[in-house]
Amino acid sequence: MSRDAPIQVQVVYALPERQWLLSLQLPGGSTAAEALAASGLADQVPGYAGHTHTLAIYAQPVASATVLKTGDRLEVLRPLLADPKQVRRVRARKA
């Protein structure tokens, strides 16, 4: 894809108390990492910097070098706070 044909993408990030949905216009051929940098999330989200986040497009994990297409929704996924299997085990013991 040509770098001069712009694309429209969304970058989303969510915390329990707040969500960010940012619409961006980027040069064609932009990667997930470039979109993340252009979004400015690191400046807007308290405590965001210094963490490594998994990236996904419509819930499908992608590498930061993935080239985006018009209409993609780049999701910045937070790390899990608890192991889901362990949470289910504890819940089952209490039942």
In this prediction, residue 53 has a pLDDT band, given cuts at 50, 70 and 90, of confident
Higher pLDDT, 20 or 78: 20
Between the CA of residue 35 and those of 5, 9, 69, 86, what are the distances in Å?
15, 8, 11, 35
pLDDT score of 51: 64
Residue 31 has pLDDT above 70, yes or no: yes
Looking at residue 2, its pLDDT comes to 52
Strand pairing class (18-26; 54-57)? unpaired
- Residue 12 has what pLDDT? 96
Phi, psi of 35 (to 5 degrees): -65, -40
Is 73:58 a contact under the CB 8 Å cutoff? yes
**pTM, 2 dp:** 0.78
**For the chain, which domains are there?**
7-94 (3.10.20.30)
